[in-house]
Amino acid sequence: MELLKERIRKDGIIKEGNVLKVDSFLNHQMDIDLLNEIGKEFKRLFADRPVNKILTIEASGIGIACIAAQYFNAPVVFAKKKQSINIDGEVYSTKIESFTHKTVYDVIVSKKFLHKEDHILIIDDFLANGCAMEGLIDLVQSSGAIIEGIGIVIEKGFQKGGELIRSKGVHVESLAIVDGMNAQTGEVIFRN
């Protein structure tokens, strides 16, 4: 998606440790015109899939998923992060290792909001090592619902997540794939 790549080149900030900051348009301040284009693009890419629900994870995925959901006429469910939980049987739960915080946390979705009849599109802001996606896939599989696809705004193609998740046979679409970035020069290299 050219518009997104241009924006990353213009406003993305490369941090040490392979972190791309996109706080000015995606992760803190959100550019709604851009999010609308992202939503339309996800709809175009998954137009042939019978998506009836969108699943994401708090916090950064929520805004993106809500805007995209308008093009699918589907509700959004977001997985919640918990420090520690007493699993009471009312929730599906899994563990995710945070790329940015280097900690492991529990993630839950109420059983009320994921059913085996559901056809799920998973949406998130970044795909890096794939831990967040593995966790969300695990939650959906626990419910028996079908994963119609995964829509990612920015995939860091030099980390292992893309390959890991695609090797599970899941249809993954990333709107921009970054194959390299240089914290010294500020250069971002995209996959064609």
The answer to whether residue 54 forms part of the interface with ligand 5GP (CB under 6 A) is no
Rounded Cα–Cα distance for residues 47 and 40 (Å): 10
Residue with tokens 């839950």: 108
Total binding residues for ligand 5GP by CB under 6 A? 20
- Give the residue, chosen from 128, 147, 172, 175, that forms a contact with ligand 5GP under the rule CB under 6 A: 128
The answer to whether residue 155 forms part of the interface with ligand 5GP (CB under 6 A) is no
> Smallest distance from the beta carbon of 12 to ligand 5GP, in angstroms?
9
Query: CA nearest 120: which of 144, 84, 95, 85?
Result: 144
Helix (H, G, I), strand (E, B) or coil at 119: strand
Cα 128 to Cα 75, 91, 136, 160, 174: the distances in Å are 26, 26, 14, 7, 12
Query: CA nearest 93: which of 81, 103, 101, 102?
Result: 81
> Smallest distance from the beta carbon of 132 to ligand 5GP, in angstroms?
4
- Give the residue, chosen from 132, 136, 140, 153, that forms a contact with ligand 5GP under the rule CB under 6 A: 132
- Give the residue, chosen from 4, 8, 20, 140, that forms a contact with ligand 5GP under the rule CB under 6 A: 20
> Smallest distance from the beta carbon of 131 to ligand 5GP, in angstroms?
4
The structure tokens listed for 135 are 């966790």
Q: State which residue, 52 or 147, has the beta carbon closest to ligand 5GP.
A: 147
Interface residues toward ligand 5GP, by CB under 6 A: 19-22, 27, 60, 99-100, 124-133, 156, 161
